[in-house]
């Protein structure tokens, strides 16, 4: 049986609200109630398709592309010019002194 | 003279330029003029370089006079999809979250083009973060198909395909993850290539799905497309996934005969196509046989899972790749009282619905408890699909399929039906999963709308694809001088 | 009897020229945001490129710890959001860490290493009077993380382990490990077991960057947990921080709210083969490690305590080994190093390794001393000058006129000192030994250290008897 917390599979695949909220939180996405409903529905539809995978055979190992490289292919430890502070800070929406400003983080590391 | 220039192929323009009969400035200027006159109708461009393009053209002219040898497309200006960064020029990736951002560096593919003597005309419109098959998810405006402005140009490289089809650029670069160069090429009646994964550097390409993304050339002819690939292909020290495989001499291969080439027409693809596309593909098959190619049978049993695998892998990678868009280092940012607020506001306002949808799915399939069953399983099945192709290519040299299930659909027709939209890529995404090259070639029309067929080949055998495509493009008897 | 069970996760910054995944300079203390590029700033379209030297260094460390290096170098993404993490993920290793196993001997105990992995550091979040900002100079700096098994059982052991790891890292040559620069940080896992009421849950104390902090934090935490258990409570899985001022640990987060890092293989980085040749070559170029040095120095007759000091900073051991190689006598060289050289290094702004003091010069200095060409005090002066300028001792002696006084010159100087201090001489003649030191001191001062104190003392004592004040 295809059982995962948050994923209801009897009949149709459906995501419960708690799971949806958790995923949105992990993704740092703010969804309106409307969007939430819509996306929840879309996700369930897609996951329905995805459920087929269970039936799929598969080779023993996942091959991640591309081919293995040689040690000599690693980057030499040689200095390259920096983009410079102004280039970085010019793009930043907010700055404080020479730092990129962020609103005081409410979360611990 | 100016209108004439935009009607010529890139190869013809290059020849005229090299012979000194036409300057790069004249060519560039002619295209800028066409953009000015017509682009309001199609919306192919997000940003036009104008004076910047002319200055670059002047430099190209100066280099030719100095006797400098440039590339296979010297003198010919190009358009770049707005997911490819160019220093000093805005790059939006079709999204609000990058509104106003000016890139401080240049993508390798663009550098090679400019180094080869091609000024950049502008940045073309695309689906937001290349996520879409119609260019309707662009946060700015949709692009219209020059062959029928009520219809979509395809996506996500709709702007680039439309620009080439509308003579607003001789050639253009788009990007592929699941068919985003080939499908719009087919819809707009131009040629589009997805190179082998690793053939072209991804440095400077805004990432969507890292294990599948590739920059791909678009042109009105196979030769134009081949020339463009020749300029940008090859290993790049900035991209560890770029391949050390040597770059073939594509132009030399172009005119070789297809006699003896073995091709297959798998039902797995044909079955998903409407009658117009089926007929066009069968037609193409007959043309190949008439030219001496040999039809063979192959089997690709794992293809039925391709869509599901593609969904999981691409969205998982995308959810991670788009995490850098947090409102901190670039983008318009958002007023926020604390950090969480900043993330939620920036991403909430900055990302469109399709992007959010994909990030959500991607995060889900990677999360604790689901990773093995979804992501790892998908990657295993993906390997299987790749192995299917490897096996098939022992029997066949190329695989012929329709590029799309049908011709271009109407604007607004599928945007609210994600599953219907995703089904657009059913023919194209297997090549992205397997990392193999695939070329879409226009072969005619159906009820006035362009029809494209696709040839897929072994890794790094783009030359053979061009050779085959060269024959197939002759089937498109229409006069391509009319928009 | 409840027992403390402790494991450490030590992060070491590698001192390569450039960062882990880009060519930006890897430097400490630069003005903020001056060493940044599209890659370490996570601009759209940027791609990582692993640093060969960082990989080499990490492998060296793995070999020095006796760990087994993986057949391939692979990376994974660790996904989470924080302002000092530009990509919104850290490139790290999860499925296949760089090395597994290994051990570190700490006194009588052998601490097993679980694994060693490579990753990149985050930027620095700084607070400026009510506002907060990020400096990305550190973002992307190469880090090696050494994770031990929970084989430690006391605060002292934890500290000793960390100190030994520092020695090993220094000796491998991948970092000077200047603790004040934050080059080595530790997260410590502490739990208490053996009592029926302890649930064996762990507290993780994060981000300590001094040995003292580790020792104090662990000590406090053991007491805290033991008290909890004794009071009938249980210890929860939690993340704690250490307050350096109060010496206490404090709750940061409960582990139930654990992050979901959604690890997956890094698609931008293909695996790199770590062949036997590559590993063999790195193994062959390993410098002498602490244990090897311990044996060598013991064999030279150096005392245990002295050996420990010599190992605390690799440059000291390097100098001793080289000096012995150059013909110096081990204990004499060691005395110099552990006494005056360390003092001079502390007082000067230059590290020993960058100073003018080489093995050859130290040996030459000792030879001059032994031949009697210079006195002890003069030798110290010469040493200081060699350290600062890198000149040959011989040159300095000649130029500064520091050669030991000849007999007659010595006599003359003594006479002068006697003339200036008649009472002291009388006292000495009368048997007051203390004035001898005073008179010798005066002589040394007057002659700028050119008098050999022993000779001088003998001569002063002799002549004091016979001296008559000038009338």
Residue A3 has pLDDT above 50, yes or no: no
Of residues B209, B330, B368, nearest to C260 (C-beta):
B368
B418/A23 Cβ within 8 A: no
Which residue out of B98, B206, B238 would a mutagenesis test of the C interface target, given it has the greatest number of C Cβ atoms within 10 Å?
B238
d(CA B306, CA B273): 16
Query: 25-44 in A: which are within 8 Å (CB) of C?
Result: 26, 28
Asked whether B352 and B313 are in contact (CB, 8 A), the reply is: no
Q: Which two tokens stand for residue B180?
A: 């985003």
Q: Chains near B, with 3+ CB pairs < 8 A? A: A, C
Q: What percentage of chain C exceeds 90 in pLDDT?
A: 67
Q: What percentage of chain C exceeds 70 in pLDDT?
A: 96
Q: Give yes or no for A102 touching C (CB within 8 A).
A: yes
> What residues of B are in contact with residue C269 (Cβ under 8 Å)?
240-241
Q: Is the dihedral of CA B66, B72, B76, B77 positive or negative?
A: negative
C88/B324 Cβ within 8 A: yes
pLDDT at C329: 93
Give the residue ranges of DSSP H helices in B375-444: 377-395, 418-422, 429-434
pLDDT at C195: 55
Tally C-beta pairs within 8 A across A and C: 134
Per-residue model confidence as pLDDT tens digits over B303-359: 989 998 999 999 999 999 999 999 999 988 888 989 999 999 999 999 999 999 999
Q: Which two tokens stand for residue C198?
A: 């302890």
B241/C267 Cβ within 8 A: yes
C51/A75 Cβ within 8 A: yes
Per-residue model confidence as pLDDT tens digits over C400-424: 888 887 778 888 888 888 888 888 8
Per-residue model confidence as pLDDT tens digits over C51-78: 999 999 999 999 999 999 999 999 999 9
Q: Give yes or no for B425 touching C (CB within 8 A).
A: no
- Least CA distance to B243: which residue of chain C? C270
**pTM to 2 decimal places:** 0.91
Residue C201 has pLDDT above 80, yes or no: no
d(CA B128, CA B79): 18
Torsion region of B404: left, alpha or beta (phi above 0 gives left; psi -120 to 50 gives alpha):
beta
Residue C99's DSSP bridge partners are C69, C116
Residue C330 has pLDDT above 70, yes or no: yes
Minimal C-alpha gap between A51 and chain C (Å):
20
C36/A83 Cβ within 8 A: yes
Rg over CA atoms, chain B: 21
C83/B323 Cβ within 8 A: no
d(CA B381, CA B305): 8
User: B271 Cβ partners below 8 Å, 6+ apart?
Assistant: none
Minimal C-alpha gap between C25 and chain A (Å):
6
Give the three-class secondary structure for B456.
Answer: strand
B337/A58 Cβ within 8 A: no
Q: What percentage of chain B exceeds 70 in pLDDT?
A: 98
pLDDT at B1: 47
Helix-then-strand count for chain B, H and E = 18, 11
Question: What does the domain layout of chain C look like in residue ranges?
Answer: 9-190+255-273, 288-400, 407-466
Q: Give yes or no for A103 touching C (CB within 8 A).
A: yes
> What residues of C are in contact with residue A26 (Cβ under 8 Å)?
260, 262
Q: Which two tokens stand for residue B338?
A: 């604390």
Give the three-class secondary structure for B70.
Answer: coil
Residue C25 has pLDDT above 60, yes or no: yes
Mean pLDDT across B380-396: 95
A53/B378 Cβ within 8 A: yes
> What residues of B are in contact with residue C89 (Cβ under 8 Å)?
320, 323
* DSSP secondary structure letters along B276-316: HHHHHHHHHHHHHHHTT-EEE----GGGGGHHHHHHHHHHH
* CA neighbours closer than 13 Å in the CB half-sphere of residue A71: 17
Instruction: Tell which residue, C325, C404, C399, C315, has the closest CA to residue C357.
Output: C315
- Least CA distance to A57: which residue of chain B? B381
pLDDT at B481: 36
pLDDT at C236: 75
Lowest mean pLDDT among A35-39, C62-66, C268-272: A35-39
Mean pLDDT across B92-105: 97
The residue assigned the tokens 């295993």 is B380
> What residues of A are in contact with residue C33 (Cβ under 8 Å)?
85, 88-89, 98-100
C262/B210 Cβ within 8 A: no
Structural domains of chain B in order of their starting residue, each with its CATH number: 2-263+397-473 (3.90.1300.10)
d(CA B55, CA B106): 17
> Using 50, 70 and 90 to split pLDDT, how confident is the model at C2?
confident
Of residues B197, B367, B383, nearest to A62 (C-beta):
B383
* DSSP secondary structure letters along A48-79: HHHGGGGG----SSPPPSSPPBPGGGSBP---
Instruction: Tell which residue, C408, C389, C385, C414, has the closest CA to residue C397.
Output: C385
From residue C420, give the alpha-carbon distance in Å to each of B371, C417, C424: 91, 5, 9
Tally C-beta pairs within 8 A across B and C: 96
Question: What does the domain layout of chain A look like in residue ranges?
Answer: 7-55
Per-residue model confidence as pLDDT tens digits over B33-74: 999 999 999 999 999 999 999 999 999 999 999 999 999 999
B194 as an active site residue: the answer is: no
Interface of C with B (CB under 8 A): 38, 41-50, 77, 79, 81, 83, 86-89, 134, 260, 262-264, 267-270
Mean pLDDT across C203-212: 92
- Give the phi and the psi of residue C125 in degrees, each rounded to 5: -90, 125
Please identify which of the residues B95, B180, B314, B346 carries the catalytic annotation.
B180
C81/B326 Cβ within 8 A: yes
Give the three-class secondary structure for B319.
Answer: helix
Level-2 CATH architecture, domain C407-466 = Orthogonal Bundle (1.10)
Asked whether B104 and A83 are in contact (CB, 8 A), the reply is: yes
B23 as an active site residue: the answer is: no
C128/A97 Cβ within 8 A: yes
Q: What percentage of chain B exceeds 90 in pLDDT?
A: 89
C44/B93 Cβ within 8 A: yes
Mean pLDDT across B218-232: 98
B377 as an active site residue: the answer is: no
Tally C-beta pairs within 8 A across A and B: 167
Most confident of B207-211, C224-228, C347-351: B207-211
Of residues A76, A96, A108, nearest to C133 (C-beta):
A96
A58/B384 Cβ within 8 A: yes
Most confident of A81-85, C11-15, C176-180, C304-308: C11-15
Which residue out of C82, C133, C136, C274 would a mutagenesis test of the A interface target, given it has the greatest number of A Cβ atoms within 10 Å?
C133
- Least CA distance to A101: which residue of chain B? B328
Asked whether B441 and B473 are in contact (CB, 8 A), the reply is: yes
Residue C252 has pLDDT above 90, yes or no: no
Level-2 CATH architecture, domain A7-55 = Orthogonal Bundle (1.10)
Mean pLDDT across C213-233: 88
> What residues of C are in contact with residue B205 (Cβ under 8 Å)?
45
Give the three-class secondary structure for B18.
Answer: helix
pLDDT at B347: 96
The residue assigned the tokens 């502008």 is B122
- Least CA distance to C88: which residue of chain A? A27
Of residues C72, C260, C272, nearest to A74 (C-beta):
C272
d(CA B430, CA B268): 11
Per-residue model confidence as pLDDT tens digits over C348-363: 989 999 999 999 999 9
Please identify which of the residues B134, B156, B157, B175 carries the catalytic annotation.
B156
């Amino acid at each position: 049986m295809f059982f995962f917390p948050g994923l209801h599979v009897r009949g149709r695949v459906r995501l419960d609200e708690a799971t949806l909220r958790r995923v949105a939180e992990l993704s740092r996405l703010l969804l309106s109630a409307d969007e939430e409903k819509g996306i929840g529905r879309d996700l369930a539809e897609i996951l329905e398709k995805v459920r087929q995978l269970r039936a799929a055979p598969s080779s023993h190992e996942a091959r991640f592309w591309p081919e293995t490289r040689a040690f000599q292919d690693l980057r030499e430890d040689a200095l390259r010019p920096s983009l410079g502070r102004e280039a970085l800070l010019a793009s930043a929406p907010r700055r404080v002194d020479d730092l990129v400003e962020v609103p005081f983080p409410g979360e611990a590391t | 003279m100016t209108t004439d220039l935009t009607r010529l192929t890139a190869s013809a323009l290059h020849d005229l330029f090299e012979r000194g009969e036409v300057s790069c400035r004249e060519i560039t200027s002619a295209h800028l003029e066409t953009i000015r006159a017509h682009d309001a109708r199609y919306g192919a461009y997000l940003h036009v370089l104008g004076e910047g393009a002319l200055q670059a053209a002047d430099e190209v002219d100066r280099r030719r006079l100095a006797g400098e040898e440039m590339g296979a497309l010297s003198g010919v200006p190009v358009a770049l999809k707005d997911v490819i960064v160019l220093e000093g020029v805005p790059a939006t990736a079709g999204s609000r979250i990058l509104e106003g951002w000016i890139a401080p560096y240049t993508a390798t593919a663009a550098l090679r083009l400019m180094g080869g003597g091609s000024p950049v005309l502008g940045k073309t419109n695309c689906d937001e973060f290349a996520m879409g098959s119609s260019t309707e998810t662009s946060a700015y405006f949709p692009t219209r198909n020059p062959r029928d402005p009520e219809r979509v140009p395809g996506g996500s490289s709709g702007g680039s395909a439309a620009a080439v089809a509308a003579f607003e650029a001789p050639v253009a670069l788009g990007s592929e993850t699941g068919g985003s160069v080939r499908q719009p090429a087919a819809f707009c009646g131009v040629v589009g290539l997805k190179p082998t994964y690793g053939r072209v550097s991804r440095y400077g390409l805004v990432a969507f799905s890292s294990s599948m993304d590739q920059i791909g050339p678009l042109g009105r002819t196979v030769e134009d497309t081949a020339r463009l690939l020749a300029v940008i292909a090859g290993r790049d020290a900035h991209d560890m996934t770029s391949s050390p495989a040597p770059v073939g001499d594509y132009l030399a291969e172009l005119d070789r005969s297809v006699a003896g080439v073995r091709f297959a027409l798998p039902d797995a693809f044909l079955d998903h196509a409407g009658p117009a596309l089926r007929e066009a593909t069968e037609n193409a098959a007959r043309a190949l046989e008439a030219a001496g190619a040999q039809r063979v049978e192959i089997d690709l049993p794992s293809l039925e899972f391709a869509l599901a695998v593609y969904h999981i892998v691409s969205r998982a990678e995308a959810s991670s790749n788009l995490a850098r868009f947090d409102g901190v280092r670039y983008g318009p940012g958002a007023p926020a009282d604390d950090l969480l607020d900043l993330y939620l506001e920036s991403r909430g306002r900055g990302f469109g619905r399709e992007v959010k949808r994909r990030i959500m799915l991607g995060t889900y399939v990677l999360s604790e408890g689901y990773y093995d069953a979804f992501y790892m399983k998908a990657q295993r099945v993906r390997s299987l699909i790749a192995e299917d192709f490897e096996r098939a290519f022992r029997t066949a040299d190329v695989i012929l399929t329709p590029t799309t299930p049908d011709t271009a659909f109407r604007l607004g027709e599928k945007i609210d039906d994600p599953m219907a939209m995703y089904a657009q890529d059913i023919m194209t995404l297997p090549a992205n999963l397997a990392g193999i090259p695939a070329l879409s070639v226009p072969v005619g029309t159906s009820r006035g709308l362009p029809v494209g067929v696709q040839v897929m080949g072994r890794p790094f055998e783009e030359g053979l694809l061009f050779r085959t495509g060269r024959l197939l493009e002759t089937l498109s008897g229409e006069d391509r001088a009319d928009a | 009897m409840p027992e403390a069970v402790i494991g450490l996760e030590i992060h070491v910054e590698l001192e390569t020229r450039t960062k882990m995944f880009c060519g930006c300079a890897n430097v400490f203390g630069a003005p903020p945001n001056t060493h940044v590029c599209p890659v370490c700033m996570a601009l759209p379209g940027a791609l990582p490129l692993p640093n060969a030297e960082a990989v080499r260094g990490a492998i060296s460390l793995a070999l020095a710890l006796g760990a087994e290096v993986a057949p391939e170098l692979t990376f994974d993404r660790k996904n989470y959001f924080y302002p000092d993490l530009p990509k919104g993920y850290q490139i790290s290793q999860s499925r296949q860490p760089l090395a597994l196993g290994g051990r570190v001997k700490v006194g009588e105990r052998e601490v097993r290493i679980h694994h060693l992995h490579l990753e990149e550091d985050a930027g620095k979040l700084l607070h400026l009077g009510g506002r907060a900002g990020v400096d990305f100079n550190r973002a992307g700096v190469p880090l090696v993380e050494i994770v031990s098994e929970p084989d430690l059982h006391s605060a002292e052991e934890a500290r000793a382990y960390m100190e030994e790891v520092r020695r090993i890292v220094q000796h491998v040559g991948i970092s000077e490990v200047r603790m004040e620069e934050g080059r080595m940080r530790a997260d410590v896992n502490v739990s208490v077991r053996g009592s029926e009421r302890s649930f064996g849950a762990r507290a993780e104390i994060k981000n300590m960057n001094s040995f003292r902090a580790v020792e104090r934090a662990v000590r406090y935490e053991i007491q805290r947990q033991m008290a909890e258990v004794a009071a009938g409570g249980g210890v929860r899985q939690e993340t704690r921080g250490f307050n350096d001022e109060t010496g206490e640990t404090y709750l940061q987060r409960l582990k139930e709210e654990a992050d979901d890092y959604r690890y997956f293989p890094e698609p931008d980085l293909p695996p790199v083969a770590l062949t036997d040749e590559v590993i063999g070559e790195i193994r062959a170029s390993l410098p002498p490690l602490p244990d090897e040095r311990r044996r060598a120095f013991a064999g030279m007759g150096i005392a245990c305590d002295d050996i420990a000091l010599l190992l605390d900073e690799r440059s000291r051991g390097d100098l001793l080994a080289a000096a012995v190689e150059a013909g110096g006598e081990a204990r004499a060289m060691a005395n110099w190093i552990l006494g005056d050289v360390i003092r001079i290094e502390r007082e000067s702004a230059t590290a020993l390794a960058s100073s003018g003091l080489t093995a050859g010069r130290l040996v030459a200095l000792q030879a001059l001393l032994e031949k009697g060409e210079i006195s002890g005090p003069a030798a110290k002066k010469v040493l200081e000058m060699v350290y600062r300028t890198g000149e040959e001792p011989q040159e300095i002696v000649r130029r500064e006129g520091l050669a030991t006084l000849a007999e007659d010159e010595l006599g003359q100087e003594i006479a002068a000192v006697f003339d200036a201090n008649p009472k002291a001489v009388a006292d000495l003649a009368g048997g007051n030994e203390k004035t001898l030191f005073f008179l010798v001191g005066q002589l040394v001062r007057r002659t700028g250290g050119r008098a050999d104190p022993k000779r001088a003392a003998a001569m002063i004592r002799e002549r004091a008897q016979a001296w008559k004040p000038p009338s």
